[in-house]
């Protein structure tokens, strides 16, 4: 019998949903490197909100300091977001992306770093302003995430800005996953913070 970490049910409102995503990622870590294909298999190809959340969370962790990681994460988020917007039932990733691997040691470090904030989030999510996580408002959040991914590669040179952008997407994904509109509102607030920071570099 498989464990709960082997598959995350689509768009669940489970209050432990964020920790479940981390547990699924942990279950995917075998050997010296783990492939994107294996991570998707553990999360479930129909679990779009967790698949949006995971790369954003990783980009908030110290693993984002790896050169090229913000661009790689942005590409994954872009593809997941597009497919959420068009209503696909199963996630599709191009072969070169599905075959991409991540060092297991670094991934374990990221998981350990993320456990505490994930636990805090799980204790504080509730069904509040749930309409913001449903159409058409959910599409506004997804389009915002899409816009952020288009500029994230440029943020590799400004780590603080990339972290703010990844945090905003993380908050949107948490809100969509748990039907908690407060986190979606927080996502918009971080977008505003990101724009304010970006203006300092223009």
Cα–Cα distances (Å) from 46 to 40, 54, 74, 88, 134, in that order, read 9, 14, 20, 9, 17
Averaged pLDDT for residues 120-144: 94
Count Cβ atoms below 10 Å from residue 188 Cβ, excluding itself: 16
Greatest mean pLDDT among 7-16, 54-63, 64-73: 54-63
pLDDT band at 186 (very low <50, low <70, confident <90, very high): very high
Q: What is the mean pLDDT of residues 59-83?
A: 89
Check residue 199 and give its pLDDT.
82
* pLDDT computed for residue 172 by the predictor: 97
Please give the residue that has the higher pLDDT: either 2 or 182: 182
| % of residues, the chain, pLDDT over 70 | 91
- The span from the CA of 128 to the CA of 130, in Å, is 5
* Three-state SS at 88: coil
Residue-averaged pLDDT of the chain? 87
Statement: residue 14 has pLDDT above 50: yes
pLDDT over 90 (residue 16): no
**Longest pairwise C-alpha distance within the chain:** 55
pLDDT at 7 over 70: no
Beta-strand runs (E) in 3-97 = 33-35
Give the pLDDT mean for 176-200. 93
Instruction: Identify the H or E element spanning 103.
Output: strand 101-103
What residues pair up with 102 in beta bridges, in sequence order?
A: 34
Q: What is the pTM of this model?
A: 0.89
Each residue's pLDDT tens digit, 154-174: 887 777 788 899 999 999 999
Tell me the mean pLDDT in the region 122-142: 94
Mean pLDDT of 10-27: 77
Determine the pLDDT at residue 168.
Answer: 96
Average pLDDT in the 2-8 region?
A: 44
- At residue 103, what are phi and psi to the nearest 5 degrees? -60, 125
Q: Quote the CA–CA distance of 52 and 88 in Å, as a whole number.
A: 14
């Amino acid at each position: 019998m498989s464990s709960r970490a082997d598959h995350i049910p689509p768009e669940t409102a489970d209050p432990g949903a964020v920790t479940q995503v981390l547990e699924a990622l942990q279950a995917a870590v075998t050997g010296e490197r783990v492939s994107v294909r294996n991570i998707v298999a553990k999360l479930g190809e129909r679990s779009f909100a967790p698949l949006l959340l995971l790369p954003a969370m990783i980009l908030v962790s110290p693993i984002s300091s790896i050169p090229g990681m913000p661009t790689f994460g942005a590409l994954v988020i872009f593809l997941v977001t597009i497919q959420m917007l068009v209503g696909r039932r199963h996630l599709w990733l191009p072969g070169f992306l599905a075959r991409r691997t991540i060092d297991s040691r670094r991934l374990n470090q990221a998981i350990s770093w993320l456990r505490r904030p994930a636990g805090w989030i799980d204790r504080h999510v509730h069904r509040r302003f749930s309409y913001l996580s449903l159409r058409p408002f959910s599409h506004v959040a997804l389009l915002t995430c899409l816009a952020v991914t288009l500029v994230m590669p440029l943020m590799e040179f400004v780590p603080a800005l990339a972290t703010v952008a990844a945090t905003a997407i993380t908050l949107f994904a948490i809100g969509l996953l748990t039907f908690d509109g407060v986190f979606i509102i927080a996502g918009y607030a971080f977008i505003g913070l990101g724009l304010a920071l970006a203006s300092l570099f223009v």
